[in-house]
Amino acid sequence: EPEVTQTPSHQVTQMGQEVILRCVPISNHLYFYWYRQILGQKVEFLVSFYNNEISEKSEIFDDQFSVERPDGSNFTLKIRSTKLEDSAMYFCASSSELSDEQFFGPGTRLTVL
Amino acid sequence: AQKITQTQPGMFVQEKEAVTLDCTYDTSDPSYGLFWYKQPSSGEMIFLIYQGSYDQQNATEGRYSLNFQKARKSANLVISASQLGDSAMYFCAMRVPGRRALTFGSGTRLQVQP
């Protein structure tokens, strides 16, 4: 069964450093998303991406964040100058045009020290 | 703005019993979709069930069913015949037309006891 994959599973970085989280969505899906979940809290939407551009973003998704689809398979989230409060689990998800169901990846746990 | 409320931070159920996890929602859109996801301790988010606001029947998927009461704006998840592997966090979420973003509730931690 096709699935969303994410790398790395765990990333540790120093405050102020840049990180790139990588995702490979399901191959025939056209909508891609990033969500985050601070430990013990609910899942929060960050951004959605369609047709090579951001289609929707939350107020969390400020200038510190950017997304990119550098090739036909990868979807990345870049966080510039990480802050302690960026420590969270980051989930990538994808969906097709035909269904509302969003398939989530296993997540990347980001720890900012 | 959309809002999802899950009022049960934690629930216990005996193995083989049924359990209902509560979810209420608030939206002014007449058309919306409601989702339930399971998050085991390993952290991944597993889709369980979906209910569209115009669906005539309550959604069912195996041991999962959704008790959808539109007038009360509730979409409770019912798990029948609980298994030890059902122990996890459960999140209710909503999507409205024109937006792809899912709005999640705060979750309910279910523990199934032998």
Cβ-based neighbour number of residue A100 at 10 Å: 15
- Of the partner residues B93, B101, B106, the one whose CB lies closest to the CB of residue A56: B101
pLDDT tens for chain A, residues 1 to 113: 779 999 999 999 999 999 999 999 999 899 999 999 999 888 999 999 998 999 999 999 999 999 999 887 899 999 999 999 999 999 999 999 888 889 999 999 999 99
Distance CA B109, CA B87 (A): 8
Asked if A107's CB is within 8 angstroms of B44's CB, the reply is yes
Question: Is the pLDDT reported for residue B86 higher than 80?
Answer: yes
Query: Residue A21's closest CA among A106, A90, A84?
Result: A90
Distance CA A29, CA A54 (A): 15
The helices-and-strands tally (H runs, E runs) of chain B is 0, 12
Cβ-based neighbour number of residue B105 at 10 Å: 23
Query: Residue B49's closest CA among B73, B15, B80?
Result: B80
The predicted structure's pLDDT at residue A58: 94
Cα–Cα–Cα angle for B40, B90, A59, nearest 5°?
105
- Shortest CA distance from A107: residue in chain B: B44
Given a contact cutoff of 8 angstroms between Cβ atoms, the answer to whether A77 and A8 are in contact is: no
The predicted structure's pLDDT at residue A8: 96
The predicted structure's pLDDT at residue A82: 96
The predicted structure's pLDDT at residue A37: 95
Q: Enumerate the residues of chain B whose CB falls inside 8 A of the CB of residue A42.
A: 91, 104-107
Interface test with chain B among A33, A43, A94, by most B beta carbons within 10 Å: A43
Given a contact cutoff of 8 angstroms between Cβ atoms, the answer to whether A43 and A34 are in contact is: no
Asked if A107's CB is within 8 angstroms of B104's CB, the reply is no
Chain A residues 2-31 with a CB less than 8 Å from chain B? 31
Q: Is A96 on the interface with B (CB under 8 A)?
A: no
pLDDT digits (tens, 9 = 90+) for B7-43: 999 999 999 999 999 999 999 888 899 999 999 998 8
Residue type, A23: C
Strand partners, A68: A76
